[in-house]
Amino acid sequence: MVAIDVTINRDRYIGGSDLPTIMGWNTFQTRIQFAKEKLKIEPRNELGNQYTQYGHVMESKVRDYINLMFGTKFIEDTAFNEDKRYRGNCDGIDRKRNLLFECKTFHGKLKVDYYTPQCQFYMELFNVDECWLVGYDRPSEFYTGVDYALEHDDVYFDYTFDPKRIVIYKIYRDKEYFNKIEKEIDKFKYLLECLIEEEVMKNGFTNKNDWAISEVR
């Protein structure tokens, strides 16, 4: 198999939020479905859903509260590893205290294990040794719409903030755990290579760059 740059475009970086799917833990999407979306072979759902919209709004409320209560100065930031084509958009970093903040909304019980790879990935990328995984328990009636595609205005959401709904878990940097994550990332990159070669052959292109130019138009 010829060597293929699977990250010709910036959208082909591996990001922290990609990891549950790359690890095979996403019950809503397989690795191959996700890979095809990343390569734009299949369309991506750009609209999102009520859970992602609620989480996006509540994230800033939770971060502001944590900063107020603990004296932290978490701010959003982005880091890259160009050699490995990694990208991290963290929910917050306090560089003076060498801390990361990652916020997740949930209902019932926060799935700490599910989000640990993302925290480990960010700690490695930002070179930080501790991450606060902060969960916010969604109320049952946070969304009153029926069809999100038609009903996604703020009027359908309850964004009321209640600090009693917050839970905090401290995740510490683990190099051995991160090595396991990278093995899964390497497998995913190989899957991307295979899909690119398949598209090149299927569409009659002479090389991978011809396909790359065509698929981004």
- 19-39 pLDDT tens trace: 999 999 999 899 999 999 988
- What is the reported pLDDT for 214? 43
User: Is residue 65 within a helix (H) or strand (E), and if so which, with residue range?
Assistant: helix 50-70
DSSP structure class, residue 129: S
Find all residues with CB under 8 Å of 44, minimum gap 6, and list them.
37
Instruction: Tell me the pairing of strands 130-137 and 166-172.
Output: antiparallel
Length of the chain: 217
Neighbours of 169 (CB within 10 A): 16
Given pLDDT bands bounded at 50, 70 and 90, which one contains residue 206? low
Q: How far is CA 56 from the centre of its chain?
A: 12
Tell me the pLDDT tens digit for each residue of 45-64. 778 899 999 999 999 999 99
The CATH code for residues 10-215 is: 3.90.320.10
Scored b (16 or more CB within 10 A) or e, 2-37 reads: eebebbbeeebbbbbebbbbbbeebeeeebeebbbb
Give mean pLDDT, residues 138-147: 97
Neighbours of 205 (CB within 10 A): 16
